[in-house]
Amino acid sequence: TKILFNDSIIERKKLIDIEDRGYQFGDGIYEVIGVYDGVFFMLDEHLQRLERSAKELQISLPYPISKLKKYLMELVHVNNLKEGVVYLQVTRGEAERWHYFPSSDTKPILVAYTKLEETLRKEEDHGATAVLTEDIRWLRCDIKTLNLLPNVLAKQKAVENNAVEAIFYRGDIITEASASNVFIVKNKEVYTHPANNYILNGITRRKVLSICKELGIKVNEQTFKVKDLLDADEVFITATKLDIVPIVKVDQQVIGFGTPGKTTREIVEAFRGSILEIDHM
Ligand code: PMP
Q: Are residues 81 and 140 in the same domain?
A: no
Q: Side chain identity at 175, as an amino acid letter?
A: T
Report whether residue 32 contacts ligand 1, using a CB cutoff of 6 Å.
yes
Given 144, 155, 207, 241, the catalytic residue: 144
My answer on whether 132 and 105 are in the same domain is no
**How many angstroms separate the alpha carbon of residue 14 from the centre of ligand 1?**
28
Say whether both 175 and 211 belong to one domain. yes
CA–CA distance, 1 with 212 (Å, rounded to integer): 39
Q: Return phi, psi of residue 162, to 5°.
A: 50, 35
Name the residue range of residue 220's domain: 121-279
- Could you tell me if 82 and 129 lie in one domain? no
Evaluate if residue 117 carries a pLDDT over 70.
Answer: yes
pLDDT digits (tens, 9 = 90+) for 206-245: 999 999 999 999 999 999 999 999 999 999 999 999 999 9
Closest atom, ligand 1, to C-alpha of 241:
16
This model of the complex carries an ipTM of 0.99
Residue 180 CA to ligand 1 centre (angstroms): 4
For position 99, which CATH number holds?
3.30.470.10
Q: Identify the CATH number of the domain in which residue 170 sits.
A: 3.20.10.10
Cβ–ligand 1 distance for 239 under 6 Å, the answer yes
Taking the centre of ligand 1 as the mean of its atom positions, its distance from the CA of residue 158, in whole angstroms, is: 16
* 215 in the same domain as 136: yes
CA angle 144, 166, 273 (to 5 degrees): 70
Question: pLDDT tens for residues 142-189?
Answer: 999 999 999 999 999 999 999 999 999 999 999 999 999 999 999 999
Domain count, the chain: 2
Residues 111 and 126 in one domain: no
Strand-pair partners of 254 = 249
pLDDT at 37: 95
For this structure, is 144 an active site residue?
Answer: yes
226 and 137 share one domain: yes
